[in-house]
Structures are given as C-alpha cells and as structure tokens.
Structure 1
Amino acid sequence: MQISDWQRSSYCATGESCIHIAHAAADRAVRLTESGDPAGVILSATRRGFAGLLRAIKEDHVP
C-alpha cells in the first residue's frame, strides 16, 4: 500500500502529540496516525466516514 506524504494537523501545537493525516492512493482511504508513534496504530477511514467524523467534531459531539 502506498501512502502519500503525511501532513501534520494545522491545529497541532508544539510537542509530540499531533495527528497526522495521509491519503492512500491504492484504496482512496484516509489514514490517521499520532506523531508520538507514527509506525504504530494507523486508523483508516473512507473519505465519507472521515468527513462525518470532522462534522461531528466541529459540532462538538461524537455519536
């Protein structure tokens, strides 16, 4: 699986706890990881699922 370059969240302050996001070209999925352990857990979501997560966060609730 090829993942494009990881991008750090624009909401990340200085430090080690930042969310990084990438797009996987092979399956068009969105990948998320935490900068403290970038090779550890990588979450995967469809673009539609990720958009729903962002909407829920912006509305300040997660179902």
Structure 2
Amino acid sequence: MSTRDWQKSSYSAQGNACLYISALDNATIRLRESDEPNTILTTNPAALGALIRSAKAGRLDHLGEG
C-alpha cells in the first residue's frame, strides 16, 4: 500500500493525530490514523456518510462524555 494512495484530512493539523482516507474503488473506503498507520478501517461511502452526518448533527457527542 503506497503512501500516495492516502489523502490527509484537511482538518488535520501539521504533526500527529492525522486522519487519512483512501478509496480503493467506488464501493470501498479505507481510513487510518497517523499514530496507528497499520490499523485500517474499511467501510463504504453510504456508511461513512451516515457517520459524518451523525457527528455533524451532534448525535455522537455523548460518546466523549464520561
């Protein structure tokens, strides 16, 4: 897996804790975090879109509490 296949999030600052995304094809999206580059999550565009919409709407805010 080449590093050129990965795009860094525009919300990631310079340095650590960056999110990277890569699309294998129209149906498969890969996500990884810079601190654990060998741990890769795989999803599809619909599921990732639902996650992003939920986060933007604040429906996941309770997960950071505690």
- For normalisation by structure 2, the TM-score amounts to 0.75
2:24 maps to 24
Structure 2: stretches of 5+ with no match in the other structure: 61-66
Provide the C-alpha distance between the structure 1 equivalents of 2:54 and 2:18, rounded to a whole number of angstroms. 19
1:61 maps to 59
C-alpha deviation, 1:24, in angstroms: 1.1
1:10 maps to 10
SS at match of 1:41: strand
Structure 1 residue runs of 4 or more that deviate by more than 4 Å after TM superposition = none
How many residues matched? Answer: 58
Q: CA RMSD in A?
A: 2.0
Please state which structure has a larger fraction of its residues in helix: 2
Provide the C-alpha distance between the structure 2 equivalents of 1:15 and 1:60, rounded to a whole number of angstroms. 27
C-alpha deviation, 1:37, in angstroms: 2.4
Q: Bigger radius of gyration, 1 or 2?
A: 2
Matched-pair identity in %: 35
Measured against aligned partners, the alpha-carbon deviations of 1:9-42 in whole angstroms (never above 9, x if no partner) come to 11001221100001012x721110001221x210
- For normalisation by structure 1, the TM-score amounts to 0.78
